[in-house]
Amino acid sequence: MILLRNITPRLGFISGFAFCTAALATAAWFQFVKDLEPCPLCISQRLAILLVGIIFLLAAVHNPADKGRRIYAFMGFIAALMGAAVSIRHVWLQNLPPEEVPDCGPGLEYVLEYFPVADIINLMLNGTGECAEVLWTFLGLSIPAWTLVAFFLLAAVSVLQFFYPYEAVRNARYQGDAQ
């Protein structure tokens, strides 16, 4: 209980930001050290983790009162759910029978240079056949499945930030110190 009494909203948001930073560093390691090129859905998931991380960082720097903390927590929760939705789509594509996997489209660099923005967004959210490849697993879960776990953890951090009774804990701590 002593550990819980020392948790502040800022510490919670900084912890969430550190988790996002670690997730993005891991993705960079897979890309640049292990030479696993990210597919469009992988990039979308990275952007969602980046968005959650930015929200958590802003919340930690701002360190708002109760209402502001809840707003940041709600925004982090929504961003984490959006990322989870992309991860679910990615895991679903990876588990399709080979004959049902969509065709591979042109490379992402080509798409970014020659396609209209609406098509780029569609590709980034729906994926292509290359998104169905499972290039790495750990404990039977692929990278998108682990990313889904990460999004659920980030959503849980947001829920805790939203509902945790910081004011009541702080008051109990000060009352305990006064006695």
Closest CA to 82 of 119, 41, 115: 41
Where do we find the tokens 């930690």? 60
Per CATH, the homologous superfamily of domain 9-178 is DsbB-like (1.20.1550.10)
As a whole number of angstroms, the distance between CA 9 and CA 14 comes to 9
pLDDT value of position 1: 44
Closest CA to 91 of 152, 31, 32: 152
Helix/strand/coil percentages in the chain, nearest 5: 75, 0, 20
As a whole number of angstroms, the distance between CA 14 and CA 177 comes to 26
pLDDT in tens, the chain (179 residues): 455 566 788 888 999 999 999 999 999 998 889 888 888 788 889 999 999 999 999 999 998 888 999 999 999 999 999 999 989 988 888 787 777 666 656 566 766 776 777 777 776 666 555 666 777 668 987 888 999 999 999 999 999 888 877 665 555 555 555 55
pLDDT value of position 72: 95
pLDDT value of position 44: 87
Distance of CA 106 to the CA centre of its chain: 26
